[in-house]
Chain A
Amino acid sequence: MEGPLSAVRETGGRLRGSRCADCAVATYPADSVCPRCGGPAEAIALSGTGTLWTWTVQRYAPKSPPYVPPAAGFTPFTVGYVELPEGVRVLAVLDIRPEEAEIGMPLTITAGDGVPRAVGAAV
C-alpha cells in the first residue's frame, strides 16, 4: 500500500522526501511546505546511502501498545539517524548488530513496511 513511508516506485526502495525550492531544506517524510521558510516544497526521492550520525540500542521492549514485537519475541535492536547527501538526517531502525554501530559508518537506507530501515553498506 502506498503511503508517506512507502518507497518511491521503481527506485529500489528510496524514501519519499521533499525539498524546498528556495532554501533547499530537505525533509522526511515529504512535506508540502518548508519547515524553515514556509515556502512550497517539492517531492523528491532521497538518496539510498548515507552515514550514521548517531545511534543507540533499544535494550528493553517498548510499551505495547503501540509497540508490536516481532513474532519471535523482542530482542534488543539498534536505532539511529542516517545522514543523506540531500542534507537530511533520517531516523531508522538499523539492521546491524549493536556492537557494529559506529558514528560515520556507511549505511544503505530503504523504505519498507514501516519506518525506514538501514543496513551496513559496502565502502
Chain B
Amino acid sequence: MSGQDVLVCGAGITSFARTEVSGRQLAVQAVRAALADAGLPWSRVRAAYGGSDAAGNADTLVAELGLTGVPFTNVRNGCATGGSALVSAVGAIRSGAADVALAVGFDKHPRGAFDPRPADWGLDEAYGRDGLMVTTQFFAMKIQRYMHDHGISARTLALVAEKAYANGVLTPHAWRRKPLDADEILASGMVNDPLTRYMFCSPGQGAVALILCSGAVARELGGTPVTLRAAVVRTRRFGSFEVFSPWAPPGTPTSVSADAAELAFEEAGLGPHDIHVCQLQDTESGAEVMHLAECGFCEHGEQESLIPFGATGIGGSLPVNTDGGCIANGEPIGASGLRQVHEIVQQLRGRAGERQVPGEPSTGFTHVYGAPGVSACTVLTR
C-alpha cells in the first residue's frame, strides 16, 4: 500500500426495510450515525464522495448536513457506486489531501425487477419485444452452466438462501427477517430455471456512510478503528459473460470479480486464505456460489463440499454474508457495496451483536459485482 494509512473510524447504516422515508433522508441519517460513531462533527470532514443510482445527488446532502464548503463529489457508477466513492475517499486520505473523508451510498428503487430499455444498452428493440431484456435470465444461465461444469446441486443454491434469511433474522437493519428453509425456498416457484423466487434479492432501499481518517486523526480519536488495506474497482476484460449480451465469446469466461479480488489482495499483501469473514455479491444464490471461487476462497466445484456442511455460516470456517447479504437486505444499488464494508467493520470491531463471528475475526473482505461487468473489492484488518 502506498501513502498514508487509511482507517475506518466511523460507520453508519439505516434500516434496509421498505418505508416511506426518501433516499436522501436515509443518506442524512447514515452520515450522522457515522459521524457520531467516529466522534467527529460534520465540519471536520475535508472531502466527501457519494452517490445513488435512483435517489438523487449526494452533494445536495450539504443542505441538511451543513454548508461548510466541503468539496463533495457525486459518484454515479451503477453497482460500483459505493465502491467508487470509497476508492475516491481512500485516494484523498492516502494523498494527504484530506485527513477526514466521507463515503456515502444510498438508494431507493420502485418495487419489482429493474426495468432496462434496449436502447440504453445499445441493443436492437427486438431484444425487449421478444422478452430477452430480463436480468434474471442472465443469472440463471450463468449458474446453469456452472452447475453443469462443476457439479453444484439445486439444494446447495437453496442452502445459500436459507443461510441468508437465517442471518437476516439476526440483523436488526435487514429487510427480510423471517427464516425460510431450503425446502420452502426450492418450492417457492421457478422464476428462471434453476433459480426460484426466494433465491433472488429484490431492489430495495437503504443508506450507508463511512468516515475514513488518516492514522494521525485515528490515534487522536481512540476507539476501535479498522484499517482499509485495499479498495479497488475494475471493469470487465474481453471474454467475460455479462447480462444483456446478444453473443458471448467461446471458452471459459473471464471474470471481473477474479480480477478485482486479485488486485485487492495484492494491494493488501494478504491472500484469500488469510480472510476470517467475507461479504460476496449475492444477487441470487448462484452468484454467492460462483463468487466464492471467482474471488479465490475455494476451487470451482469445492462449494458443494463446503456450503452443505455449514462452512459459510456464521460459525463456519469462512463466514459469508453474515448480515444476510443482498438476499436479506435487498439491493439499493448505491448503498449495497458500502453495506458490505459496514458489516466487516462491525465484525472486526466485535460489535456485530447476535450475528458476531466467534473467535475475534481480524481480517475481512468485501466484493460487489454488477452490470455490465464491474466489480469492487476491499480488504480490511483490525
Q: Judge whether A58 and B133 touch: CB under 8 Å.
A: no
Q: With A62-B131, A98-B193 as known contacts, state yes or no: A55 contacts B141, CB within 8 Å.
A: yes
- Asked if B63 is at the interface of the complex by the 8 Å CB criterion, the answer is no
- Asked if B134 is at the interface of the complex by the 8 Å CB criterion, the answer is yes
Q: Which of A45-98 contact B (CB under 8 A)?
A: 53-63, 65-68, 77, 79-81, 83, 87-91, 93, 98
Residue numbers in A under 8 Å from B297 (CB-CB): none
Segment with Cβ contacts to A, from B110-118, B265-273, B319-327: B110-118
Q: Judge whether B249 and A81 touch: CB under 8 Å.
A: no
> Is the contact region of chain A dominated by helix, strand, or loop, or is it mixed?
loop
- Asked if A5 is at the interface of the complex by the 8 Å CB criterion, the answer is yes
Partner of A114, one of B126, B148, B245, B249: B126
Cα-based distance from A113 to B127 in the complex (angstroms) = 11
Partner of B124, one of A27, A29, A54: A29
Cα-based distance from A1 to B9 in the complex (angstroms) = 62
Interface string of B129-144 (1 = CB under 8 A from A): 1111110010011101
Q: Identify the interface centre among B117, B131, B248: most chain A CB within 10 Å of its CB.
A: B131
Q: Which of A16-67 contact B (CB under 8 A)?
A: 25, 27-29, 35-36, 53-63, 65-67
Partner of B145, one of A36, A53, A88: A53
Q: Judge whether B192 and A36 touch: CB under 8 Å.
A: no
Cα-based distance from A36 to B128 in the complex (angstroms) = 26
Partner of A103, one of B148, B189, B248: B148
A52 to chain B, nearest CB (A): 10
Residue numbers in B under 8 Å from A56 (CB-CB): 137, 140-141, 144, 192-194
Question: Number of B residues contacting the other chain (C-beta, 8 Å)?
Answer: 36
Q: Judge whether B247 and A58 touch: CB under 8 Å.
A: no
A residues contacting B by CB (< 8 A) are: 3-5, 25, 27-29, 35-36, 53-63, 65-68, 77, 79-81, 83, 87-91, 93, 98, 103, 113-115
A7 to chain B, nearest CB (A): 13
Residue numbers in B under 8 Å from A4 (CB-CB): 124
The 4 A-B residue pairs with the shortest CB-CB distance, nearest first, are: A66-B128, A114-B126, A56-B140, A54-B145
Q: Judge whether A3 and B124 touch: CB under 8 Å.
A: yes
Other A-B pairs beyond A68-B130, A87-B250, 16, CB < 8 Å: A3-B124, A25-B238, A29-B247, A36-B249, A53-B248, A54-B145, A57-B190, A58-B192, A59-B193, A63-B113, A67-B128, A90-B247, A91-B245, A91-B247, A103-B144, A115-B246
Q: With A55-B141, A57-B192, A91-B245 as known contacts, state yes or no: A114 contacts B250, CB within 8 Å.
A: no
Q: Identify the interface centre among A63, A65, A83: most chain B CB within 10 Å of its CB.
A: A63
| 26 residue pairs A–B, Cβ–Cβ below 8 Å | A5-B124, A29-B124, A36-B249, A53-B145, A53-B248, A54-B141, A55-B144, A56-B137, A56-B140, A57-B192, A58-B192, A59-B189, A63-B113, A67-B128, A67-B129, A68-B130, A79-B132, A80-B141, A88-B248, A88-B249, A89-B249, A98-B193, A103-B144, A103-B148, A114-B129, A115-B127
A65 to chain B, nearest CB (A): 7
Residue numbers in B under 8 Å from A27 (CB-CB): 247
Residue numbers in A under 8 Å from B127 (CB-CB): 115
Q: Judge whether B191 and A87 touch: CB under 8 Å.
A: no
Q: Which of B89-126 contact A (CB under 8 A)?
A: 112-113, 115, 117-118, 124-126
Partner of A66, one of B118, B144, B248, B250: B118
Cα-based distance from A119 to B163 in the complex (angstroms) = 39
Residue numbers in B under 8 Å from A93 (CB-CB): 130-132
Q: Identify the interface centre among B127, B238, B245, B250: most chain A CB within 10 Å of its CB.
A: B250
Residue numbers in A under 8 Å from B245 (CB-CB): 91
Q: With A3-B124, A57-B193 as known contacts, state yes or no: A91 contacts B246, CB within 8 Å.
A: yes
Q: With A28-B247, A56-B192, A58-B134 as known contacts, state yes or no: A81 contacts B141, CB within 8 Å.
A: yes
Partner of B131, one of A3, A77, A103: A77
Partner of B238, one of A36, A57, A91: A36
